[in-house]
Amino acid sequence: MKQLCTTILLCLMVVAGAYAQRTISGTVTDQSGEALIGATVAVKNTSVGAVTDVDGRYTIQVAKSDAILMFSYTGYATQEIAVGAGSVVDVTLVENANVMDEVVVIGYGKQIRSTLTGNIAKVNNENIKGMPVVSVEQAMQGQAAGVNIETVNGKVGAAARVRVRGVGSINAGTEPLFVVDGIPLSKDSRNTYGAGLNPLADINFNDIESIEVLKDASAKAIYGSRGSNGVVLITTKSGKSGKSQIELDLQYGFSQPTRKREFLNAAEFVELFTEAANNSDDIDGYAYDDPDSWTTFVQGRFFRYSGRNDDWMSKIDKTNWQDEAFQDASLYNANLSFSGGSDKMRYYFSANHGLNEGILVANHLTKDGARLNLDFSATDKLKMGVNLSVSRTNTRTVSDDNAFSTPMQLVALAPITPKRDEKGELYDRPVTTYYNGLIDVEDATRKVFSNRTLVNVYGDYSFTQSLALRVEGAANLYNVRDEARFGVRTDAGNASNGFGESVFAGATDYNTNAVLRWNKAFDKNDLGFDLGTEYFESTNNRTAVFGEQFPTDELKTLASAAIITGGTSTEEQYSFLSYFGRARYNFDRKYLLNASARVDGSSRFGDNKRYAFFPAFSAGWVLSEEAVLQDNPTISFLKLRASWGQSGNADIGNFRALGLYAPGSYNGQSNYLPEQIANPDLTWEKSTEVDFGLDWGLFDNRINGEIDYYIKNTNDLLQQVPIPATTGYKTQWRNIGELENRGWEFTVNSNNLVGEFKWTTSLNLALNKNKVVALADGQDIIDDGGTRYANVVKVGEPIGVFYGAEYAGVDPANGDAIWYTNATDGSDPRATTNDFSEANYVVLGSPLPDLIGGISNSFSWKGVSLDIRFQGQYGNEIHRSGDVFMSCNACWFDNQTRDQLDRWQNPGDVTNVPEARLGYSNGDIGRSSRYISDGSYLRLKNITLAYDVPTKWMRGVRSLRVYATATNLLTFTKYEGWDPEVTTDFLAGNTVYGIDFYSAPQPKTIIGGIRIGF
Amino acid sequence: MKKLQYILLSGLLLMAGACDKKLDIEPLQSVSETVALDSDANVKLVLQGAYDNLSKDGMYGGNLFRDAELLGSDGEVRWVGTFSDPRDIFNHEMDAGNTDVENTWSIAYQTINSCNNVLSALDIVNADDRDRVEGEAKFIRGVCYFELTRLFGKPYVAGGSNSQLGVPVITTATRGVTEASYVSRNTVNEGYEQALSDLLRAAAILPEDNGVLASKYAAMGMAARMYLSMGKLQEARDMATAVIGSTQYSLLPNYEDLWNQDDDTDEALFSIQVSPQDGVNELVTFFSIPEFGGRDGDIEIQNSHLALYDPADTRLALFYDGNGAMRTGKWKNQYKNIPIIRLAEMHLIAAECDARLNGNGALQLNPVRERAGLAPLNQAFVEDVIQERRRELAFEGHKIHDIKRLGGTIDGISFDAPEFVFPIPAREIEVNKNLQQNEGY
């Protein structure tokens, strides 16, 4: 090796000594004549280079008259120009349509797209920059094929669920591994109060250079036991040598709900509930004026709900409670960045500040952050760098969906109820039907403060041209503090003179890895090996204290609590130790081969099964490099790919293999409670995946795309298998069962029009079919047996499928809700019954979409640009779980949706809404198709109109863009609820999909912005 | 340069080698099964855990009482809450998916498993404490089998063979899931036999005074309750009068002082301990209103119950008007103890047995009446005692069981109708094919 180094050094010296210097200068511009700042100019086959300045000018020394200059700039085709005799070389670079030469980030490395043998979706900075959303997942929604992203509801900072190629597990994690600059970040919400917040909300996506989603086994197997659900690699920006560039982006806008629902007004409320009471009296044989009758009871309630008076008789609307749940929300964001550097040192610095008000009352979030990315070339051989970011997110949360205090549950209150009493105080029970959540707005504080420091330090040393070592160390210091304080009037503080809780949750993750790279090109062969090791350790702790009996609501901290009712601290650790390797070979960029393997060990499993091995192989054949196709005028690129590999899922929580007793407390004394039954054989979930792909480009790659077909089989599913509760335990963790996802993915990118008027289109579509192949021996279904929700896991069906009674509408003769018996005993399955228990359960639909996709069109002309992006999904159903209360034909006092006015009233009425019967169950059982709706939608996710103001006459201003952006502006759907992009936030689990339970609709946001570059 | 290479490469190797041990991470919040049963002190902690389980919401933390009152309401209370599971119990329209029913089943068996674990490790308990530990575990296990059998099985028929299905009777600790874990239901008779033998053993070996934990008299009191429910009047009376005669306990002068207490009163034989630190009082959750830590006043007391009281009855004063309806004052503070069995019940058991055996229960009944501000009776017939029970023990989880024992009706439906028997939980039927579902589910 030393010999090799010496040889190279000698060569360099020889080259240097031979210089007979001559200066060349010139300007680099784009097609429109704009100067390109920071373009690289290099003398071919030498180490001599220069960078263009703010006017696009460069000067460079060349040694020989036959020297060739190479001009390159990101996004533009590299040009080579022979110097010749002159001293001025001006160049116009042409935008690069050849996506095949794009550099793609892969696991522990980079690769040129045309030589990829795996499937990787890439989202670039320009596709997400400036989006008026909170988190990076929201920004990339609908932009990567086969990546299903859903914000669970419209609360600000709400968790976002990401599924790559379908749902990959029943009980273990289903989120892809998010890796930001080399450090894996957990997506678990860490806040205690209110709905779970998205921990990635603090990542400033304007800093992101690119997001690569590793989808097939050959791309992700290098992440071994953590790769099964896909890997999302986030790379932040690094500086480019050249003059400093400063960019300031300011935006301001408004949000409102995508949709509201219609509820009964006062007159309708009184009418429907009086009718419901009369009907119940008819059943029970009461005269309506009997003091014990339902009608008398209802009138008593009306009296109460009016504020203990007879105002209800005048049927005047007192409060529109739905409107009270929402607020006029505004938002602003400011983003500032500096970047630049010399050829020795490059920097990127950014700072951001923003406020996002949610559409729900008292729900808002502020974000602040700063980032510094530095890269040094310490010597010719040693590069070092550091990426450092600090960020803070403060959120004023609201309760989860299943709390009377959550704003959306205000809709249950009666329209005849005034908001405030004569003293101006908010009414509470018994005047309000349920707890008035607005009291929480006035008298409760629920704040979540989260802070994150992410740091990554690397050194990259080239021993020789072929051999290099990269060592990386990274840390993620994340802590979340909840401060909750409930005043005496609030539900939580009512019985205790105020209640307060302070919780500190911290996560400290370290990740170190070292990768040795060897690469050699000879003749037409290109061979590479990577060898690496990685260690990851995570420590999570939580400290909480709660107290009550406060002297006044004004005192917010627990220092003023007379009784400290509890306190706790917990800590958990887990770790991974891994070794991995990869071999790459290609011949003439025509025949491509790739193999990778990883050995992973983790603390999460017992001694016997602690290590596992994850291999992958893939191959590609670039047909367009074959002689037959080489000069084909139409087909410019054609590649066939195939891959096979295995990856794992270890996201199951800690210590699942052990038989455990947990400490409890009774009578002020500690005790042990049996907590978990042991399974010493517990190990990873394994996914085996094959992928066949075709990458194509037509007309000089003006139109290009990918087609993929994949089959992903996940077996040894980590499952909490139900066991007889008579054992004292309800479940045991076992590796059992099999799940399959198979599907197609299509992407098309097209430069429809080039030239002065530009039009580009990009489309992605993904079809995925999820199927539970097997559960435990002899087990056909996992069903909690409840009647409120309908999601189950059933063999042969997609995970989380809705399974319940098939609603047959209303018996026109008597107004009873009826269901199809779906009898299996030979009698007519289409016969109907009004006895729910006689209706056999059948599959009622799937909450998982058959098809997801997005299409964006960009138009630009003379500095004016218009981007229109649609996103949608098709074929999924939604369970309107909250409608069991608000659309139950006046079964109880919750205000009803207006469609309940279509109730059955007289024999012969044909309707789907049964007769209203107060206090009686007439069709209000959740587990029926009555409450299941088509959840398909197509949404105008993003539309941006921008104008790049010419800056030639503005001194010092490099660029100036004025823009307006709207998200979720239009939604096309048949869904009857608030919004079809929904999953309630109070239920957890992989079967919990498509549940709408007082879930806030998504916000519709319109902003205006200005972006100035200096 | 060579040095640098060495440093880098050896650093890499070091990192790889040193890390393997880092995969040995033990939980900090839990202990392993073997540790939990390996010493005197630890076994006693597991026993404390059995009490903890017994005090959970699905058991004496509230639902056993609440559901007995809802199911046997017969118009005396009204469920107006939003939760559909208790509403279905109230309407005797349960289905096998009822999560409250499932919760009671599961927690009862968790409690039983805790007891079985303790009983399996008696030999490592200090000899001096061995009887007490065994007695407490058997008391708790006996109570669980009594409650389970009478909820999930058809009513016990006094003097009958009681071969109707009860619940599985398990007396060994669970160490793993095997064929034997897929149990079948035992008969009601077998369930009662197990419960009674556990309680009698506990009564024989427990100390007379055992703090707030199960004592000899708690076990005897529970056995008296069981004997009464089995129609074994002689035995019931003997047990009850033995407790009364012990002088350990006395009727409080003031009925109101029985309720919402931090410490067990002189009248309480056994109570669930609740404090702001631990324990849960779910009765307050459902019987009370937000002001006292309840939900929205989910259970309203109806006039037909209030009409049972003489206007002079001091127990009537305990009711209060809250959130637009009458409420019981027995469950009014979320952090206070829940009396499970108390001396007044012993008097009522003895009185009823006296009345049935000798025709006059006045002797044992009158202390209860007088405490309530009512005139003593010279002659107390069975019906007088029964009426007194309805008032004295209202909302303490006796309602449905008394109706079943006495052969009454609920909303006009006979006590032995299938809708008054809890369904075997659907999830249990699903995972264990050996379990037979109850009629009507």
pLDDT at B141: 98
pLDDT at A15: 38
* Residue located via tokens 């659907």: B426
- Alpha-carbon span A13 to A1, nearest angstrom: 19
Residue B10, pLDDT above cutoff 80: no
pLDDT per position as a tens digit, A669-683? 889 999 999 887 888
Calculate mean pLDDT across residues B120-134: 95
- Alpha-carbon span A241 to B362, nearest angstrom: 103
Model's pTM, two decimal places?
0.80
Which among A602, A655, A727 has the least Cβ separation from residue B113? A727
Calculate mean pLDDT across residues A600-607: 81
Residue A97, pLDDT above cutoff 60: no
CA distance to A702, A855, A939, per residue, from A750 (Å): 6, 11, 21
Residue B223, pLDDT above cutoff 50: yes
The letter for the amino acid at B184 is S
pLDDT at A3: 43
Question: What is the rounded end-to-end Cα distance, in angstroms, of chain B?
Answer: 81
- Alpha-carbon span B276 to A564, nearest angstrom: 9
pLDDT at B152: 97
- A297-A299-A303-A309 Cα dihedral, nearest 10 degrees: -140
- Alpha-carbon span B263 to B274, nearest angstrom: 9
Residue A215, pLDDT above cutoff 90: yes
Chain A residues within 8 A of B8 when measuring between CB atoms: 461, 469, 471
Query: For A525-529, A557-561, B15-19, which range has the lowest pLDDT when averaged over its residues?
Result: B15-19
Which among A461, A491, A537 has the least Cβ separation from residue B290? A491
Residue B185 to chain A, least CA–CA distance (Å): 11
CA nearest neighbour of B33 among B47, B41, B43 = B43
CB atoms within 10 A of CB A383: 17
pLDDT per position as a tens digit, A776-789? 877 888 887 778 89
Continuous segment of H or E residues that includes residue B157: none
Confidence of residue A18 (pLDDT cuts 50, 70, 90): very low
Nearest CA in chain A to B285: A495
pLDDT at B19: 56
**Alpha helix ranges (H) inside A419-489:** 438-443
Question: What region does B284 belong to: left with phi over 0, alpha with psi -120 to 50, or beta?
Answer: alpha
Nearest CA in chain A to B426: A785
Question: What region does B359 belong to: left with phi over 0, alpha with psi -120 to 50, or beta?
Answer: left
Chain A residues within 8 A of B274 when measuring between CB atoms: none
CA A553, A559, A562 angle in degrees (round to 5)? 75
**Bigger pLDDT: A778 or A689?**
A689
Nearest CA in chain B to A892: B82
Residue A533, pLDDT above cutoff 50: yes
Confidence of residue A17 (pLDDT cuts 50, 70, 90): very low
Query: For A44-58, A121-135, A740-754, which range has the lowest pLDDT when averaged over its residues?
Result: A44-58
Residue A720, pLDDT above cutoff 90: no
CA nearest neighbour of B431 among A856, A995, A726, A934 = A726
Query: For A69-78, A172-181, A319-328, A433-442, which range has the lowest pLDDT when averaged over its residues?
Result: A69-78
Residue A5, pLDDT above cutoff 50: no
Residue B179, pLDDT above cutoff 70: yes
Q: Counting beta carbons within 10 angstroms of the beta carbon of residue A804, is it exposed (0 to 12), middle (13 to 18) or buried (19 or more)?
A: buried
Calculate the average pLDDT of chain B.
Answer: 92
Chain A residues within 8 A of B277 when measuring between CB atoms: 565-566, 665, 668
* Structure tokens given for A628: 């037959």
Strands (E), A754-841: 757-774, 781-782, 791-794, 801-804, 807-810, 817-820, 832-833
CA distance to A341, A693, B265, B367, per residue, from A641 (Å): 40, 5, 79, 91
pLDDT at A232: 95
Are the Cβ atoms of A660 and B31 closer than 8 angstroms? yes
Which among B27, B109, B275 has the least Cβ separation from residue A668? B275
Q: Phi/psi at B42 (nearest 5 deg)?
A: -70, -40
Calculate mean pLDDT across residues A413-426: 95
Chain B residues within 8 A of A675 when measuring between CB atoms: 30
Chain B residues within 8 A of A794 when measuring between CB atoms: none
DSSP string, A70-85: EEEETTEEEEEEE--S
Residue A343, pLDDT above cutoff 70: yes
Q: Phi/psi at A775 (nearest 5 deg)?
A: -115, -155
Are the Cβ atoms of A666 and B11 closer than 8 angstroms? no
Are the Cβ atoms of B12 and A516 closer than 8 angstroms? yes
Chain B residues within 8 A of A2 when measuring between CB atoms: 1-2
pLDDT at A882: 94
Are the Cβ atoms of B27 and A658 closer than 8 angstroms? yes
Query: For A22-36, A204-218, A964-978, which range has the lowest pLDDT when averaged over its residues?
Result: A22-36
Chain B residues within 8 A of A732 when measuring between CB atoms: 177
**Cβ(A772)–Cβ(A759) below 8 Å:** no
Confidence of residue B311 (pLDDT cuts 50, 70, 90): very high
Calculate mean pLDDT across residues A971-978: 95
Share of chain A above pLDDT 70, in %: 97
Interface test with B, best of A457, A661, A730 (most B CBs within 10 A): A661
CA distance to B155, B246, B388, per residue, from B163 (Å): 11, 36, 32
Are the Cβ atoms of B113 and A722 closer than 8 angstroms? no
Calculate mean pLDDT across residues A598-603: 89
Chain A residues within 8 A of B210 when measuring between CB atoms: none
Which among B52, B116, B296 has the least Cβ separation from residue A673? B52
pLDDT per position as a tens digit, A439-460? 999 999 999 999 999 999 999 9
**Cβ(A128)–Cβ(A376) below 8 Å:** no
Residue A834 to chain B, least CA–CA distance (Å): 14
Chain A residues within 8 A of B431 when measuring between CB atoms: 722-724
**Cβ(A854)–Cβ(A873) below 8 Å:** no
Confidence of residue A89 (pLDDT cuts 50, 70, 90): confident
Chain A residues within 8 A of B49 when measuring between CB atoms: 661, 664, 666, 671-674
* Residue located via tokens 């239901």: B185
Are the Cβ atoms of B11 and A668 closer than 8 angstroms? no
Query: So what's the ipTM on this one?
Result: 0.92
- Alpha-carbon span B331 to B323, nearest angstrom: 15
Chain A residues within 8 A of B290 when measuring between CB atoms: 428-429, 435, 491, 494-495
Which among B46, B277, B334 has the least Cβ separation from residue A566? B277
How many Cβ pairs closer than 8 A exist between chain A and B? 249
Calculate mean pLDDT across residues A162-179: 92
Are the Cβ atoms of A429 and B296 closer than 8 angstroms? yes
pLDDT at A59: 86
Calculate the average pLDDT of chain A.
Answer: 90
- Alpha-carbon span A318 to A235, nearest angstrom: 54
Residue A310, pLDDT above cutoff 50: yes
Interface test with B, best of A433, A575, A672, A920 (most B CBs within 10 A): A672
Are the Cβ atoms of A660 and B46 closer than 8 angstroms? no
Calculate mean pLDDT across residues A305-330: 94
Are the Cβ atoms of B168 and A661 closer than 8 angstroms? no
pLDDT at A2: 40
pLDDT at B16: 52
| B353 three-state secondary structure | helix
Are the Cβ atoms of A788 and B15 closer than 8 angstroms? no
Q: List CB contacts of B340: < 8 A, sequence separation 6 or more.
A: B60, B268, B269, B270, B271, B272
CA distance to A830, A831, A837, per residue, from A827 (Å): 9, 8, 16
pLDDT at A13: 36
CA nearest neighbour of A982 among A408, A175, A332, A320 = A408
